[in-house]
Amino acid sequence: MSGSSAAPLLLLPGLLCDARTWPSETLSLTRPAIAPMGYGDADTLTDMAERALEGAPERVSLLGHSMGARVALEIVRRHPHRVERLALVSTGVHLTRPGEANARHALLDIGLAQGAEALVDRWLPPMVAAHRRSDEALILSLRTMCVQAGVETFAHQIKALLHRPEVERLLPTIGCPTLVLVGSEDQWSPPDQHRAIAAAIPGATLKIIEGAGHMLPAEAPAGFVAAMAEWLAAEPASLPVRHVA
């Protein structure tokens, strides 16, 4: 499905990210594309989902990266009839793991004490494939975006992530064309995690982009856009996604 008959593409960025996450070619994959700059002061995934839908048309395709993929799943849970297709990129579906809260709050403490630059300089490098961390242009663009998001945004967003709802039971009910995409060098949400997600969603397609880390859209824009184009060309499901309470 393409051109004017395609549902608009709603782009959902991840933690500390905004519309600059996406390669410019993403915006020409379908018309129109909706790329919110962020989620404001929302501190639950539910509120993020509702804010992302503000002003959106009745029917959308969802493309979520990292935390944004969790936002996408909340939209699927709450408004399944509005979702034509779904792409989950560099993400997870597990509940909070032991030690996660301490690690996220330690980063927040750095930000509160030393500023957004210190927080991002500690957080960002593991999000990028090891062999790309010396790419000054890539790191500068990502660092600038994340620093501008600021410590307060980080605080709101980690609160949402640390109180995330269970979604594993939702996956088998998803009935739209679904892409699960990950970089081979993603240390934060590794490929095996995505294999399990894809296996749980009926008919889902799994793609692994070689050499990319967690910031896949920025690290491997050509591979990312090619995967998106293929996903958008898939025939939409004839039945809506079923609601799961």
Indicate whether 123 and 200 sit together in one domain: no
Within-domain flag for 210: yes
Q: Which has the closest alpha carbon to 10: 27, 28, 35, 43? A: 35
Give the residues of the chain that fall short of pLDDT 70: 1-5, 30-31, 236-245
Q: Which domain holds residue 84?
A: 3-95+164-233
Task: Compute the distance between CA of residue 52 and CA of residue 36 in angstroms, rounded to an integer.
Answer: 7
Confidence at residue 239, expressed as pLDDT on a 0 to 100 scale: 40
Within-domain flag for 69: yes
Indicate whether 132 and 91 sit together in one domain: no
Sequence-ordered list of residues with C-beta below 8 angstroms from that of 105, at least 6 positions apart, any chain: 158
Confidence at residue 135, expressed as pLDDT on a 0 to 100 scale: 97
Confidence at residue 2, expressed as pLDDT on a 0 to 100 scale: 40
CATH number for the domain that contains residue 50: 3.40.50.1820
Confidence at residue 1, expressed as pLDDT on a 0 to 100 scale: 39
Within-domain flag for 202: yes
pTM: 0.93
Confidence at residue 131, expressed as pLDDT on a 0 to 100 scale: 97
Indicate whether 33 and 147 sit together in one domain: no
Indicate whether 147 and 38 sit together in one domain: no
Q: How many domains does the chain have?
A: 2
Indicate whether 168 and 89 sit together in one domain: yes
Confidence at residue 196, expressed as pLDDT on a 0 to 100 scale: 98
Indicate whether 107 and 140 sit together in one domain: yes
Tell the residue number behind the tokens 């709603």, with chain if given: 10
Within-domain flag for 119: yes
